[in-house]
Structure formats: C-alpha cells, structure tokens
C-alpha cells in the first residue's frame, strides 16, 4: 500500500495498492475513517492531479517493481503528485552494497545510492535516513540454521530424520517451537532495532529514505 497524504484542517489520506485483496482489507480496517480514500492503482500509473499531496509514503512497494523503466516511472509519478517542498518517505531493501540484485522474481534490491540518485534526478533533495538492521530476523535465521544443522547431523534417529525432513512443513510440533522461538527473538531484538535506527550502517539492508521535493 502506498499512502498519499494531504493536510487541510483535518488530515486526508489516499491509499493505493495494485492488489484488490489489499484494498478490500484496508477498506475494512479503515471503515470508521471518513477521510481515508482507498483505490486500486499501480504507483507508476496513478493519475492524481500533479502537485496534490504534502507527503507520499511507500513502505516496501518500490522494491517490488522489478522492471527498471517502471521503477523510474513510479518515482517520476510519486514526485509529480507531491507538492513543492512536500516530502516523500520510502522504505525498501536498499543496502549500501547490493550482493544479489534479484533474490526472488518479485523483489529487486537497489542500492541506497541508486534510490538517492533517482530521486535526485527527479528533482528531490535527500534529507534524512533511518536504518532497520533487523537484528531479530538475522538472529532467528542463525538459530534456524543451527537448528537445521543439529537435526541433519545426528541428534535424531535416522528414521526420525527422514520423516522430519519430508514432513517438516507439516509438523505441528516443530512449527510451534519455531514460531515460539521466532516471536521470542523478534520481541527481544526489537528495542535494539529501534535504538540503532538513527545510525544506519553499511550492514543495514532495509532503510527509510526521506526526500524533499524542490519548490515549485
Ligand atoms: C510487502 S507488501 C507491503 C505492504 C505494506 N506497505 C506494508 O508495509 O505492510 C507490498 C505491497 O505492494 C503492492 N504493490 C506491488 N507493486 C505495486 C505497484 N506497482 N503499485 C502499487 N502497489 C504495488 C502489493 O500489492 C503489496 O500489497
């Protein structure tokens, strides 16, 4: 969902998403809010009048636009609909150095500098950033690897190992333990993520980048 905000006497919010399901969910979620408008649209094709919104927010949206021309078109369109001196906030995987550009068919990792250069070329000034080191996610991946390693190399009978490898996804016991460990790790690591957010480093893969559109 990409959110576009206008401020008059009361805030007005327009949200768009390419998916009908997401829009239906958001409509139910925000049913009580009369100043929220939700529409099915692609960010690269949204046809709001130019210079309409004070703030445009895109959380984990642009990274899903895998085609480079569409990505550039999306940024051009975001800048077009934002008012002069208005702000744009994007959160995406945007590491300093990209190791694997397309880890899945649905995601492209572009570097922090690519985002900054593209918005800069579109007439925006980069003003601030926050990092999400996602320490909990990294820790949990480490724990899962160790768990998988232990299961693979001997701490179970051969028969149990074969069953658990073929049925792993269906095992209610292992998935419950996995969920519990994941939730625990994420919960305890979250304060560390908040603490480190103002200090993004080259190890931070996901970040929030904030731009200001030049005066018009
Ligand atoms: C990872 S989800 C993020 C959702 C939400 N922003 C959040 O943080 O929970 C990505 C969303 O982007 C939407 N999306 C992908 N490509 C899009 C596009 N070109 N225009 C608008 N929405 C798009 C998908 O339908 C999906 O709802």
178-208 confidence digits (pLDDT tens)? 788 888 888 999 998 888 999 888 888 899 9
Note whether 54 and 105 are same-domain residues: yes
pLDDT at position 96 is 94
Sequence-ordered list of residues with C-beta below 8 angstroms from that of 137, at least 6 positions apart, any chain: 186
Residues 90 and 116: beta-carbon distance below 8 Å: no
Note whether 26 and 39 are same-domain residues: yes
Please give the residue range of the domain that contains residue 178: 135-196
Q: Which comes out higher in pLDDT, residue 33 or 158?
A: 33
Note whether 114 and 170 are same-domain residues: no
Mean model confidence pLDDT for the chain: 87
Note whether 65 and 106 are same-domain residues: yes
Note whether 174 and 102 are same-domain residues: no
pLDDT at position 10 is 56
Nearest CA to ligand 1 atom 20: 42
Nearest CA to ligand 1 atom 8: 59
77-99 pLDDT per residue, tens: 999 999 999 999 999 999 999 99
The pairing of beta strand 11-17 with beta strand 36-40: parallel
**Of the candidates 12, 63, 3, the residue with the CA atom closest to the CA atom of residue 39:** 3
Report how far ligand 1's centroid is from the alpha carbon of 42 (Å).
9
Residue 42 maps to which CATH number? 3.40.50.150
Nearest atom of ligand 1 to the alpha carbon of 22:
27
What share of the chain has pLDDT > 90, as a percent? 58
For ligand 1, is residue 134 a contact (CB within 6 Å)?
A: no
pLDDT at position 25 is 96
**Helical spans, DSSP H, in the chain:** 20-29, 68-81, 112-121, 135-152, 158-167, 172-196
Encoded tokens for 88:
């744009």
Note whether 90 and 155 are same-domain residues: no
Task: Say whether pLDDT at 173 is over 90.
Answer: no
Note whether 101 and 47 are same-domain residues: yes
Encoded tokens for 64:
């899903």
Note whether 14 and 94 are same-domain residues: yes
Strand order in the sheet with 2-7: 36-40, 11-17, 2-7, 53-59, 82-93, 206-213, 124-132
Nearest atom of ligand 1 to the alpha carbon of 1:
6
Nearest CA to ligand 1 atom 4: 1
Our count of domains for the chain comes to: 2
Encoded tokens for 17:
């998403």
Note whether 144 and 206 are same-domain residues: no
Report how far ligand 1's centroid is from the alpha carbon of 7 (Å).
23
Note whether 67 and 169 are same-domain residues: no
Note whether 48 and 139 are same-domain residues: no
Task: Say whether pLDDT at 27 is over 90.
Answer: yes
For ligand 1, is residue 107 a contact (CB within 6 Å)?
A: no
Nearest CA to ligand 1 atom 5: 1
The pairing of beta strand 53-59 with beta strand 82-93: parallel
Note whether 50 and 8 are same-domain residues: yes
For ligand 1, is residue 36 a contact (CB within 6 Å)?
A: no
What is the sign of the dihedral through the CA atoms of 174, 176, 179 and 181?
negative
């Amino acid at each position: 969902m990409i959110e576009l905000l206008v401020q008059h006497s009361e805030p007005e919010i327009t949200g768009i998403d390419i998916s009908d399901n997401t829009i239906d969910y958001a409509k139910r979620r925000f049913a009580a809010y009369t100043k929220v408008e939700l529409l099915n649209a692609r960010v690269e094709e949204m046809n709001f009048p130019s210079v309409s919104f004070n703030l445009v927010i895109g959380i984990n949206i642009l990274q899903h636009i895998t085609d480079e021309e569409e990505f550039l078109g999306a940024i051009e369109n975001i800048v077009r609909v934002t008012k002069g001196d208005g702000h744009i906030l994007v959160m995406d995987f945007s590491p300093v150095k990209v190791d694997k550009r397309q880890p899945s068919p649905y995601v492209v990792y572009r570097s922090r500098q690519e985002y900054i250069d593209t918005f800069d070329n579109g007439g925006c000034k980069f003003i601030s950033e926050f990092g999400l080191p996602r320490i909990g996610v990294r820790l949990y991946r480490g724990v899962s690897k160790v768990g998988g390693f232990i299961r693979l190399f001997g701490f179970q009978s051969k028969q149990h190992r074969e069953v658990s490898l073929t049925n792993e996804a269906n095992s209610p016991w292992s998935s419950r333990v996995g969920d519990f460990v994941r939730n625990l790790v994420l919960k305890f690591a979250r304060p560390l993520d908040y603490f480190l957010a103002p200090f993004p480093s080259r190890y931070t893969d996901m970040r929030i980048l904030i731009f200001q559109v030049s005066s018009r």
